[in-house]
């Protein structure tokens, strides 16, 4: 942030996280909800948010914070320790392994296609009068992890047969965004639906793995 200020950068767009909302029961998640720090990861992301907010108040540096919900799309690395659930499930199925649920699979997420996230970033870089603000980037819909896996299995024409493991400490059960403010201030619209984005993503992974084979 300080380097951006010294180099006279006009605006910084910060990749924040929906994990800031913790596991509070209020749905959908709105930017005005008080954050809940359930893990060191969340603490680090919120610290970044606070630096953005403070710099926008103290210096001639505009900042916009975007709280990404569950981003997915082609080219996510399934072998990364930070990999999202979709590439993990797809790679497991394509390699003949059973995907694993931590819990019963009924936890739900607001999955957002990477193309929609790119749109939000470009809008946040240029929208007037939004410095210092925070916005949700999502689709305003939630899908259970089990339903998501069923859709992946349908696309790949493979049986639905997950494994189950105990829930992980700090995991959020349900996540669902209110994107009203993002639409109003940034002009954001999630043009790629979850179903269309999922099909594109699964087909891209299938093609990539077939090439490697």
> Among 51, 53, 89, which Cα is nearest to 70's?
89
C-alpha to C-alpha distance for 84 and 22, rounded to whole angstroms = 18
C-alpha to C-alpha distance for 72 and 193, rounded to whole angstroms = 12
Active-site residue flag, 41: yes
C-alpha to C-alpha distance for 135 and 185, rounded to whole angstroms = 9
Beta bridge partners of 21: none
The DSSP line for 12-48 is EEEEEEGGGGTT-S-SSB-TTSPP---SHHHHHHHHH
What residue ranges in 41-121 does DSSP mark as E strands?
62-68, 70-72, 100-102, 108-109, 111-113
Among the options 14, 41, 135, 160, which is catalytic?
A: 41
Cα of first residue to Cα of last residue in the chain, in angstroms, is: 44
Residues serving a catalytic function are 41
């Amino acid at each position: 942030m300080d380097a951006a200020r010294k180099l006279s950068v006009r605006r910084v767009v910060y990749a924040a996280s929906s994990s800031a909302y913790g596991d509070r029961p209020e749905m959908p998640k709105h930017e005005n909800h008080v954050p809940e720090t359930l893990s060191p990861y969340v603490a680090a992301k919120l610290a970044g948010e606070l630096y953005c907010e403070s710099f926008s108040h103290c210096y001639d540096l505009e900042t916009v914070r975007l709280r990404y919900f569950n981003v997915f799309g082609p080219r996510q690395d399934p072998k990364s320790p930070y990999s999202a659930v979709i590439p993990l499930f797809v790679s497991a199925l394509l390699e003949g392994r059973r995907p694993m649920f931590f819990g019963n699979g009924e936890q739900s997420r607001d999955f957002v296609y990477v193309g929609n996230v790119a749109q939000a970033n470009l809008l946040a870089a240029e929208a007037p009068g939004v410095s210092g603000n925070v916005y949700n980037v999502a689709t305003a819909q939630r899908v259970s992890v089990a339903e998501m896996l069923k859709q992946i299995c349908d696309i790949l024409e493979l049986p639905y047969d997950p494994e189950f493991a105990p829930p992980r400490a700090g995991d959020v059960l349900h996540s669902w965004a209110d994107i009203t403010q993002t639409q109003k201030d940034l002009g954001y619209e999630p043009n790629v639906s979850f179903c269309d984005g999922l099909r594109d993503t699964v087909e891209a992974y299938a093609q990539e793995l077939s090439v490697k084979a």
